[in-house]
Structure 1
Amino acid sequence: MDRLEAMSILLTVVEQGSLSAAGRALKVPVPTVSRKIGELESLIGAKLLIRTTRSLILTEAGKAYVAAARRILDQVDEAERTAAGEFLIPKGELVVTAPLMFGRLHVLPIVADFLARQPAIDVRLLLADRNIHIVDDHVDMAVRIGSLPDSSLVATRVGSMRTVICASPALLAARGEPATPADLAAFPIVAVDTPAPFPSWTVRIAGSGALYEIATRPRLTVTTADAALEAAMRGVGVVRLLHYQVADAVAQGRLKILFTDYEREPSPVHLVHAPAEHMPLKMRRFLDFAAPRLRQGLAAL
């Protein structure tokens, strides 16, 4: 029995949540997946998984073994990459993640220029408005907008980002321009439905720095920032978005930023990666290439 293969299959089963999902991910028959897990349990002499009709549950022995297997496979992977020269020559696949719209507008152009200069490196760019897990999803580098939670991740700050409230000139002409955020109670609102939606908008009291919340009732709720931007430009309602998301529309006169005196402190923007005793050259080259370009781009917003 190939023990490393069995460990890898076990981790895939745990990550996918079922034998059938693991079989699809690995492109192997479900009976093969089941047999490999059974052989591993026989070798260890302990039950690792409790299989029910609806779910898989790790036993206590299984939890400990999965944690150890993940460390072992990571060490093997690093040893293979070292042997292949990844720490001596910038080559291999680089996995980068960023927020959807920011990635399209600001990260993709940098990646394209980077690829033109690094013929031995391939990039997989994962764009999503959820924070993809860096370790579990094997991500090399991530762009994060907002305060970082305490973690072991290594962060390089590349700038900051305003959160702004905007409306179309047509909407303001029809309803009048609100003098303070409290006046938004009389305006239709366009909201973005996120995994952590904000039922109210937090603003800063002008001149004091203190924060307070204004209640909002969305007239339209959408699932992406792109859709919220489009709706706001069509005059559907007032919208709150990150500055980079509205910058072009503001420059074109299709949106106007409101309440600049009430804006919260800008959110930090970082490039983050998992700590490593030796950083692969592909990551070092990308960090050195991307960080100054992101700083320049963010400073221009």
Structure 2
Amino acid sequence: MDQLFTLRTFVAVARQRSFTAASRHLRISPSVATRAVAQLEERLGLALLTRTTRSVRLTERGQVYLESCQRLLEDLDEAERRVRGENAEPRGELHLAAPIVFGRLHVLPVVQRLLVAHPDLSIRLQLSDRNQHLVDEGIDAAVRLGELKDSSLIALKVATVRRVLVASPRYVKQRGAPRSPAELIRHQLIDFENLNTANEWRFGAKEQAVRVQPRLIVNSADAAIAAAEQGLGIARTLSYQVADAVLGGRLVLVLGAFMPPPVPVSVIYPGRRSASANVGAFVRTARSHFEQHPLLPVEAWRPARR
């Protein structure tokens, strides 16, 4: 079995922590992935992975070998990108990541344009509200919301969104709307756990923290929005997630005068991928898409009358 193939298979299994997930990623059968790693371990004369019925974990030597393999494969991929040149036609697979709702609403149109424009390109779009580590998880580029902490990444700001509070018209009619953040203590609150880890919601230009006690906590933005539409309480979301619901009259903004500052939306990618024709095509297409279809600011929302 080709040595480069066995290295790529080992890296995929280590990143995914699963032979099954790695085989899906590589589009090979689980038995082929298992055999490739076994051959690699046999050639090295040591165990790289610890296998159980439920998980796959790196051994201590496996972790050291993984780091070396990732650098080697990155160098090989970089050499290929440089040989092809920045203006080469995109081809092969482009691995992207984005938040679930934002990806469905605003990244899929970019993906569609790329697939139409570049017939030799295939795309793997991973939607998750967890911020993935691009290099460790083999992601070429991502769309991320919020300030970036990793200075090794290149970021292109394409839009901004805001954290907003929303409730159904029925809830507001029955319970009234809070006039200040302090009044939230008397309301039913719905929280999306990826936006909050300390039961604190922040308000105003100075992002002053207010302690809250949500009655409902969910791990899906869609679920939080659906619960708010059903009248279960006030939900904290991001503006793009509820724009259609507010404009359609299914939800109303609450405490709009106390919104914290805008949150940047950025296209990010590792600096070493800057010469990639695939990444370059995605960045250019994303920038063009958001220039042509900018996100409507909250201040410009004009809800339908009911």
Q: In structure 2, what is the equivalent of residue 67 of structure 1?
A: 67
Q: CA deviation at 1:162?
A: 0.6
**One-letter amino acid of the counterpart of residue 58, structure 1:** T
Post-superposition Cα deviations, 1:21-67, rounded to whole Å, max 9, x if no partner, equal 8789862368735642443324xxxx5648587875533x5544332
- Could you say what secondary structure the match of 2:215 adopts? strand
Tell me what 1:244 maps to: 240
Q: Which residue of 2 aligns with 1:176?
A: 176
Select between 78-87 and 248-257 the one with higher mean Cα deviation.
78-87
Q: Tell me how far 1:152 sits from its aligned partner.
A: 0.4
Partner of 1:128: 128
Specify whether residues 62 and 213 from structure 1 end up closer, same or farther in structure 2 by C-alpha distance, changes over 3 A only. Answer: same
**1:91 aligns to 2:76 (yes or no):** no
Larger radius of gyration: 1
Q: Distance in 1 between matches of 2:20 and 2:273?
A: 37
1:80–1:28 distance in 2 versus 1, CA, 3 Å:
farther
Opposite residue 41 of structure 1, the aligned amino acid is L
1:288 is aligned to 2:291 = no
Residue 304 (structure 2) aligns with: none
Give the letter for the 1:65 counterpart: Y
Structure 1 vs Structure 2: percent identity of aligned residues?
Answer: 35
Q: Distance in 2 between matches of 1:290 and 1:24?
A: 27
Report the CA distance shift for 1:37/1:19 in structure 2 as closer, same or farther (over 3 A). farther
Structure 1 contact 106–297 (Cα < 8 Å) conserved: no
Aligned to 1:58: 59
Cα pair 1:81 1:87 within 8 Å, conserved? no
Report whether the alignment pairs 1:192 with 2:192.
yes
Which of 272, 275, 280 is the matching residue for 1:276?
272
- The gaps in structure 1 that reach 5 residues or longer are none
Q: CA deviation at 1:149?
A: 0.6
Structure 2 residue 44 is matched with structure 1 residue 41: yes
Would you say the 8 A contact 2:273–2:279 is kept in 1? no
Alignment: residue pair count: 292
1:28 counterpart residue number: 31
Q: Once the two structures are superposed, what CA deviation does each residue of 1:138-187 show, in whole Å capped at 9, x if it has no partner?
A: 22221000111133011001121110011111111111221111111111
Structure 2 residue runs without a partner (length 5+): 298-306
Q: Match of 1:112, as an amino acid? A: Q
Which residues of 2 match residues 212-223 of structure 1 at below 5 A? 212-223=208-219
Q: Distance in 2 between matches of 1:21 and 1:93?
A: 17
Distance 1:109 1:69 in 2: 34
Q: Distance in 1 between matches of 2:34 and 2:289?
A: 50
CA drift of 1:113 comes to 2.6
State how far apart, in whole Å, the 2-side matches of 1:277 and 1:106 are.
Answer: 23
Q: In the aligned structure 2, how far is the partner of 1:115 from the partner of 1:52?
A: 38
The 2-side partners of 1:91 and 1:190 are apart by 44
Cα 1:28–1:169 shift into 2, 3 Å:
same
* 8 Å Cα contact 1:158/1:292 also seen in 2: no
Query: What residue in structure 1 maps to residue 149 of structure 2?
Result: 149
Q: Does the CA contact (< 8 Å) of 2:9 and 2:33 recur in 1?
A: no
Per the TM alignment, residue 70 of structure 1 is displaced from its structure 2 partner at its CA by 1.8
**CA-atom RMSD, angstroms?**
3.0
Q: Distance in 1 between matches of 2:121 and 2:19?
A: 34
Q: Map residues 90-109 of structure 1 onto 2, 5 A cutoff.
A: 90-109=90-109
TM-score by length of 2: 0.82
In structure 2, do the counterparts of structure 1 residues 248 and 92 end up closer, same or farther at CA, with 3 Å as the change threshold?
same
CA–CA separation in structure 1 for the residues paired with 2:129 and 2:50:
33
Look up the match of 2:250. 254
Structure 1 residues 258, 9: closer, same or farther in 2, change over 3 A? closer
Residue in 2 aligned with 1:300?
A: 296
Q: Is 1:232 the counterpart of 2:235 in the alignment?
A: no
Residue type of the partner of 2:277?
Answer: L
Distance 1:40 1:5, change over 3 A: farther
Q: Which amino acid aligns with 1:36?
A: Q
Aligned-pair CA distance for 1:121: 2.1
Q: SS in structure 1 opposite 2:293?
A: helix
Q: Secondary structure at the match of 1:40?
A: helix
Counterpart Cα distance in 2 of 1:96 and 1:33: 26
Residue type of the alignment partner of 1:255:
L
Compare 102-111 and 19-28 and name the one that shifted more. Answer: 19-28
